[in-house]
Chain A
Amino acid sequence: MSRRISPVIPGFGLTLGYTLFYLSLLVLIPLAAMFIKTTQLSWDEFIAIISAPRVLAALKLSFVTALIAALINGVIGTLLAWVLVRYKFPGRKIIEAMIDLPFALPTAVAGIALTALYTPTGLIGQFADSLGFKVAYTPLGISLALTFVTLPFVVRTLQPVLADIPREVEEAATCLGAKPLQVIRYVLLPALLPAWLTGFSLAFARGIGEYGSVIFIAGNMPMKTEILPLLIMVKLDQYDYAGATAIGVLMLVVSFILLLFINLLQRRISTTS
């Protein structure tokens, strides 16, 4: 960490100024517009809007489905990262290159593809249907769509950290008599946890806000399968600008807190490494 105030390097004023200008113009002022719009509401009205049963149900749904998706990714993402970093096997390069596909693929395309896959007439949907449960138009379908969209986060944050742990450390531990579970508990877990949490929270934050891939598969039933971003759209389409922005502010605060949390984690990673 060799950062210091370097009088020799020019451009501090210019770059910081430009950064602030650009951010303010495109991100901060528009976001402020949303906050100001909600000030048209009194505090009580604001609370009444965000604690309406339908909003709470959507909030719960968005949180729970995003959490489930992030947890699924926490498991399969760790597995994928481990396999990609530690093993050489046929097709490794293909998987490595394609992991980022959910980032590169437009979410609407993901949405119609997953819907086609999971409806009772689709490839997987048929199978699930014969087992007697439904995927599309249920919270399960939403979770699966979110799992797809946020798949790369955990993999990509774990990979560099895993690559940095020398394999010899585990081997050494094993030779010294540690059981595999102990190796995981005392060697791998402490090293991986901050990165894992970062990937997990990124996936979670993205999942709460995701729209394009979810609306096709969600079912959009008030109180049941209506996600929070859709509720904003619904409020907006009823000319309820204040209501839409109130929910928007709620979501924004949540994502800001999550981001702060992530940045704190990352600082911990960089100080421990």
Chain B
Amino acid sequence: MTSTTLANPSAARVAQRGNVWGRRFLIAAAWLIFTLFLLLPLYVVVNEALKQGLGTFFTSILEPDALSALKLTLIAVGISVPLNVVFGVAAAWCVSKYDFKGKSLLVTLIDLPFSVSPVIAGLIYVLMFGAQGWFGPWLQDHDIQIVFAVPGIVLATIFVTVPFVARELIPLMQEQGTQEEEAARLLGANGWQMFWHVTLPNIKWGLIYGVVLCTARAMGEFGAVSVVSGHIRGMTNTLPLHVEILYNEYNHVAAFSVASLLLALAIFILLLKQWSESRINRLKASAAEE
């Protein structure tokens, strides 16, 4: 291929020159799209939040209901993410290290929550655990509350975030194959030692990447959580639901203040993601050099 390029250098240069303008145009278009579609909404959030100054901003996000919403959001994230990490590793393990019948169906099922409408994700838990649902009477008799309480919110959050870790790990682990693990086994490592010392270090950046995406979605889920929440102030409101409530209470500035808190968290998560991604790329590059 290189020889073809060298055989006709002037044509390449002409093509290059023609490309300069096209290139400038495309870059400008990318910036325009980026500004219009992504930066402008962010600007609106921050601008509305700071309309009445920093003081109002801080009182809005430090007020007890906002803090309890933050706590509930952290609880939902704290439970759903570790569970989905364990699931994601197990699912990626059996999908990527073995061949079996029905594998593509399994992968489709793992992906399913990704494209199920969040409203349905909430609805199914109401159908299962609501007072009129399958287990409703039994749960009532035993005084266990799932929907309209924290467990329901956690369940809905888990549902919408099921695929994230598995989705990141499956292609990564498929690419890595099984040789290193086999070698470890031959050298006498048991299953857990092999996993802990060989597999985990190999997939850790991919895993962190998956965790980051999973956390972002768990933190921001609205539709599914809204169906099972019951909207009790200070009890079953997550941060996104709290934003909605404030928005509905003539409390524009507070709503956008809490929204910008979520925005800041989102940007923090993106930075984490960028960092883990650059580590993955570096690992890949060094692997390629070897």
The residues of A with any CB-CB pair to B shorter than 8 Å are 2-6, 8-12, 14-16, 18-20, 22-23, 26-31, 33-34, 37, 76, 79-80, 82-84, 87, 89, 91, 95-114, 116-117, 122-124, 147-148, 151, 166, 168-169, 171-172, 174-177, 180, 202, 205-206, 208-212, 228-230, 232-233, 236, 241, 244-245, 248, 251-252, 255-256, 258-260, 262-263, 267
Contacts and interface: CB of A to CB of B under 8 A. Distances in A.
Contacts of B97: 3, 6, 9, 11-12
A104 B266 contact: yes
15 contacts: A2-B177, A3-B96, A6-B178, A8-B185, A12-B98, A80-B34, A97-B274, A103-B213, A108-B240, A148-B41, A168-B1, A210-B117, A230-B119, A232-B117, A245-B127
Q: Which of A12, A14, A102, A175 counts the most B-chain CB atoms under 10 A from its CB?
A: A175
Contact of B33 (A76, A103, A122): A76
Contacts of B288: none
A209 B116 contact: yes
Interface of B: 1-2, 4-5, 7-8, 11-12, 15, 18, 23, 26-27, 29-31, 33-34, 37-42, 44-45, 48, 86-87, 90-91, 93-100, 104, 106-120, 123-128, 132-134, 155, 158-159, 162, 174, 177-178, 181-182, 185-186, 191, 194-195, 213, 216-217, 219-223, 226-227, 239-241, 243-244, 247, 255-256, 259, 262-263, 266-267, 269-271, 273-274
Contacts of A176: 4
A243 to B, nearest CB: 12
A101 B118 contact: no
A6 B45 CA distance: 53
B8 A82 contact: no
- Chain A interface main SS type: helix
Contact of A106 (B8, B116, B221): B221
B118 A212 contact: yes
Given A108-B244, A172-B5, A175-B4, 19 more contacts: A9-B178, A11-B97, A14-B90, A16-B94, A16-B98, A18-B86, A26-B155, A27-B112, A27-B113, A80-B30, A84-B30, A101-B267, A104-B267, A105-B262, A174-B12, A205-B115, A209-B120, A210-B223, A211-B118
A244 B270 CA distance: 36
A104 B116 CA distance: 18
B91 A34 contact: no
B38 A252 contact: no
A160 to B, nearest CB: 10
A33 B263 CA distance: 36
A8 B181 CA distance: 8
B123 A26 contact: no
B120 A248 contact: yes
Contacts, number: 310
A10 B118 contact: no
A24 B96 CA distance: 20
A5 B178 CA distance: 10
Nearest to B195: A11
B237 to A, nearest CB: 12
B91 A112 contact: no
A34 B240 contact: no
B127 A27 contact: no
Given A37-B127, A97-B274, A259 B191 contact: no
A82 B240 contact: no
A147 B33 CA distance: 12
A79 B273 contact: no
A159 B256 CA distance: 33
Contact of A103 (B104, B182, B216): B216
Contacts of A267: 104
A245 to B, nearest CB: 7
Given A12-B94, A232-B120, A248-B123, A211 B115 contact: no
Nearest to B274: A97
Nearest to B261: A109
Contacts of B132: 241
Contacts of B34: 80, 95, 98
B243 A108 contact: yes
Contacts of A252: 116, 120
